[in-house]
Structure 1
Amino acid sequence: MQILRLIDTGGTIGMVPSEQGLVPGAGVVEQHLRAALPQGTALDVVTFDPLIDSANIRPADWNRLADLIDEHDGPVLITHGTDTLGFSAAALSQVIAPERAVVLCAAMQPLGQNADAEESLAQALEYLLSGRAGVRVAVNGQILEAEGVTKTDSHARAAFVSVPQAPPAPRATGARFGTGPQIGVLTLTPGLSGQALAALLGCFDGVVLRIYGAGTFPEDPALVTAVAEAVARGLPVRVVSQCVQGGLAPGLYAAGASFWQSGVTNGGTETVELAFVRLLLAASAA
C-alpha cells in the first residue's frame, strides 16, 4: 500500500469562515483528501499546531518540513499559504533529494468556495501518485517547478509563475538552514545615495540586490564604491533583476560596467526567493 504524507501547515486553502473573517480550520484539508484518495493509498497526517499563516514562516519551519519529508519514504503533500510560498518552494527545492516526490499546494480561495483549492489538490494528488519525482508547486490547477516559483498577483487565481532556471545549481541535499544569518533584500531606486546603500549593506550577512532590467546600474562612483567595499570585507552580494522574467545580461549596456567589476555574484534568472535561499544556505554552511 502506498502511503501519502500530508503536512498541513495552514494557509487559505484550509481556512473556514468566522465572525472575524477567514481562520485556519483544523482537519479541513485532511477530510477532503481522505474522500479523494484512490483505493490502495493511505494517508499519514502531520499537522502544524497551531496552523500558521504563511506570513509567519521562518527558516526553522523549512528545516522542520525537510525533516518530516526525509523521515517518510513515500510521496509528500504540503499545504501552505500563498504569501511566502515562493520562499518555501525555493528552500525545499535546494535541500530535498531530486528523486523524492514533494508537492506544495496552495490556493487563493479556501476549499468549499468552488474556486481553485479543489482543482489544485486534485492536480497535486495526481502528480504525487503517478510515480513522478521532484519538488513541485500545485496552484490554480497547475504543477510548477518549485525552484523558480514567485507570486505575481495578490488577488487573482493565476497568482503564480515559475521562472525557468538554467541549468540548476548543485543541490545541497540534506542541508539545513541556519536561523542566525541575516540575509537582506535591497532594491535599487533612483537617487539612492552611496551613504545610504553602504549603511544598508552593513546590516546583513548577505544581500540580494535587485537592480534594473537586464543588469544596468547607476554610473555613480559612490554607489559602486559602497558595493565594492562591502564585497571586499566579505559580504556576499547576489544580484538579480527587478523584472520577473528575463534575468540579467551584464555587459549588454554600458551603464553598470564598473558595478559588475566590484565582485558581486550574478544571479542570472534567479527569483528573489531563490537568490535569498541560496545565500542563506551558503551563510548557514560557513
Structure 2
Amino acid sequence: MQDANQLTVSEPVLRKYPADRVATNNRRVLIINTGGTIGMEPSETGSLGVKSNFLASMINRLDELNHPNMPLVSLCSMDPLIDSASISPDDWIYFARTIQKYYDGYDGFVVTHGTDTMSYTAAALSFALENLAKPVVLTGAQLPLGHPYTDGRQNLASAIFLAGYELVIPEVCIFFNRHLHRGNRCIKENSWSLDAFGSPNFSPLASLGISVTVNKGLVRRIPDPVASPLRVFTRFDRSVVVIRLVPGFSDDLLMLLLESSSQASSPELLGAGKTRGSVVTNDADVTDATDVGSPDAGSGATEGLACSAPPPLEGRARLHPARGIVIQTYGTGNMSSRRTDFIHAVTKAIDSGVVVVITSQCVRGEVRLDSYDTGEQLKKAGCVSAGDMTTDTAAVKLSYLLGQAGLTPNDIRTQMEADLRGEISSRLDRNISDPRGTPAYLKPHLPAAATASSFVLRGAGADLPPSLSIGHHSQF
C-alpha cells in the first residue's frame, strides 16, 4: 500500500509555450498529477506502470494547449506517483491541502488520477473543500497518453479547457469522454470502455460536442469569497464498512460486525479512549495530517487535521468495531423479512451510536425506506436513507461526517440526508415529476436555444478538435 507519510509534491512548473503565441485567455490552470493510467507506460512484460516524468513531457507536446483560447498551464506532480487502487484518505487530505496551498495563484485545477477510485477521491474533495469558488476537475484515461488512440489526450485537453473556462463551474467534477459530471454523483460504470464514467442520477454539468453546452441551472452558485472563504476539512474516519447483501447467503460475519460495533461504547473493547457522541474512539487511532507530508497551507482555513484509522491487525481479539456501516440493499431499500435477528442486531448497533446508511444495489433510482414493509423495518430501527446518492459517495460522506468533531450520531444521521455539496437531491426535487413520471432533475436536456439554463459556445475553430470549437456566446 502506498505510504502517504512519504508523499511530497513538486513545485509548479509552467508549460513550455511558443514564443509567438498570442493568448486571448489569460486564466491560469494548475495540473496536479497524482498518477493513473494516463501517465503510465508499458513494462517489458506489457503491464502498465507509473512513470515520474512521462506526463510532464507529454504535456509539452500537446499542440492544442497552444491555442489562444486555452488557459496557461502549469504542472506539479506527487512524488511518488500513486496507482489509484492504493489511494487512501491520507492522500485525499494531501490533495486537498495542495489545492489549498495554490488556491490563490490559479483560476482552476485539474487533477490527473487513476480511474479505479476516481469517484471516491472526487467525493472526498467535494466534502473537504467547502465554499469552493473555482473548478477542480479530475480526469484520467483508459489508455495511456502514449497509446496510438488514447482517450487521455482529449480528456486532458478538455479538462484544462473547462477548468479555465470563462463561465466558472465552482465544483469538484470528473471529466471523461466529452462530459463534465459533478464528482460526487459519478461512478465508474465500465472498466473496458473509453466511456468509463457516468452520473446515473444526475445530468452532466457540461457536454462537449460541436459546441460547449453548460447546464447552468445545475451548477452550484459561486460563494462570496469574503463572506464565505474557502475552508478545508481534512478529517476522515476510516471505521466505515460497506456491505452488499446477497439473498440467502450466510451473514454470520455481518452479524459479528454488528455485535462488535454495538459494543463500541464499552471502554473494555477499545481501551482508554474519548467519547464522540455515544461512541468511544481511541486517540491512538488518529493520525495527524501534518505527519502526512502536508504542503504548507495556502488560502482558507483548515478544519481538523486528522484521519482516524483502525488499529493494527496484530493482537486484535475481535473485529474492529465500525462507527459507520453502509448496507447495499435491494431495490428501494429492501432486505429479507425473515431475518428478525438481523433487524435486532442493526437496532442494537444503532442504539449504541453506530450510524447505518441504506443504499441500493440498483445503479439508478433512489432509496425510499417507506416503499415496502421490509424497508419500513429498517427505517424504524433508525437506519438512514441515502436517497439517490451513489454508494461510493455515501461511504465517503459518512467517513467525512464521522471525522468532524462535535457531531453526535443523531447529528450525522441528519446530515447524511441533507444536501451538503450537491451529492443528494432534496426530497422535493425527487418528487417533482413530469406527466410521464420522470423526475425533473433527470429530464433530457432541451436544445440550447429553448432553455435559459444552458450556456453555449458555438463556432468551428478549424485548428481545434470539434469538442473544443470556440466561438461567441449565443445563449446565456
Distance (whole Å) between structure 2 residues aligned to residue 159 and residue 2 of structure 1: 29
Tell me the equivalent position of 1:8. Answer: 33
**Shift in CA distance, 175/163, structure 1 to aligned 2, threshold 3 Å:** farther
Distance (whole Å) between structure 1 residues aligned to residue 379 and residue 252 of structure 2: 19
C-alpha displacement at 1:15, in angstroms? 0.7
Higher Rg: 2
C-alpha displacement at 1:194, in angstroms? 6.2
Q: State the TM-score, normalized to the length of structure 2.
A: 0.56
Give the counterpart of 1:18 among 43, 54, 76.
43
1:93-134: CA deviations, max 9, x gaps?
A: 122233221100111111132131111112101201113222
Partner letter of residue 125 of structure 1?
Answer: I
Distance (whole Å) between structure 1 residues aligned to residue 377 and residue 55 of structure 2: 53
Percent of matched pairs sharing the same residue: 31
Q: Which moved more, 1:6-15 or 1:137-146?
A: 137-146
- Residues 123 and 143 of structure 1 are in contact (CA less than 8 Å); yes or no, is this contact kept in structure 2? no
Tell me the equivalent position of 1:111. Answer: 145
1:226-281: CA deviations, max 9, x gaps?
A: 11111000001111101111011222222332122100111111111111111111
Alignment of 1:1-286 (within 5 A): 1-20=26-45, 21-34=47-60, 35=62, 36-38=64-66, 39=68, 41-72=71-102, 73=104, 74=106, 75-96=108-129, 97-113=131-147, 114-131=149-166, 132-133=168-169, 134-164=171-201, 173-178=231-236, 181-192=238-249, 195-201=252-258, 202=261, 203-219=321-337, 220-286=339-405
Q: Which moved more, 1:11-20 or 1:228-237?
A: 11-20
**Shift in CA distance, 194/117, structure 1 to aligned 2, threshold 3 Å:** closer
- Residues 165 and 270 of structure 1 are in contact (CA less than 8 Å); yes or no, is this contact kept in structure 2? no
Partner letter of residue 218 of structure 1?
Answer: S
Q: State the TM-score, normalized to the length of structure 1.
A: 0.91
1:36-77: CA deviations, max 9, x gaps?
A: 434584433221111110001000111111111112222111
Distance (whole Å) between structure 1 residues aligned to residue 174 and residue 330 of structure 2: 28
Distance (whole Å) between structure 2 residues aligned to residue 116 and residue 84 of structure 1: 18
Unpaired stretches in structure 1, ≥5 consecutive residues: none
Unpaired stretches in structure 2, ≥5 consecutive residues: 1-25, 204-217, 221-229, 262-320, 406-476
Partner letter of residue 346 of structure 2?
Answer: V
**Shift in CA distance, 16/230, structure 1 to aligned 2, threshold 3 Å:** same
Partner letter of residue 126 of structure 2?
Answer: S
Distance (whole Å) between structure 2 residues aligned to residue 138 and residue 32 of structure 1: 19
Distance (whole Å) between structure 2 residues aligned to residue 186 and residue 173 of structure 1: 32
SS at match of 1:90: helix
SS at match of 1:30: helix
- Residues 60 and 177 of structure 1 are in contact (CA less than 8 Å); yes or no, is this contact kept in structure 2? no
C-alpha displacement at 1:216, in angstroms? 1.2
- Residues 29 and 71 of structure 2 are in contact (CA less than 8 Å); yes or no, is this contact kept in structure 1? yes
SS at match of 1:70: helix
Distance (whole Å) between structure 2 residues aligned to residue 181 and residue 215 of structure 1: 24
**Shift in CA distance, 193/186, structure 1 to aligned 2, threshold 3 Å:** same
Distance (whole Å) between structure 1 residues aligned to residue 144 and residue 350 of structure 2: 45
C-alpha displacement at 1:192, in angstroms? 4.6
**Shift in CA distance, 29/232, structure 1 to aligned 2, threshold 3 Å:** same
Distance (whole Å) between structure 2 residues aligned to residue 194 and residue 9 of structure 1: 38
C-alpha displacement at 1:193, in angstroms? 5.3
RMSD value, Cα: 2.2
**Shift in CA distance, 194/49, structure 1 to aligned 2, threshold 3 Å:** closer
1:14-34: CA deviations, max 9, x gaps?
A: 111220321112233223333
C-alpha displacement at 1:195, in angstroms? 4.7
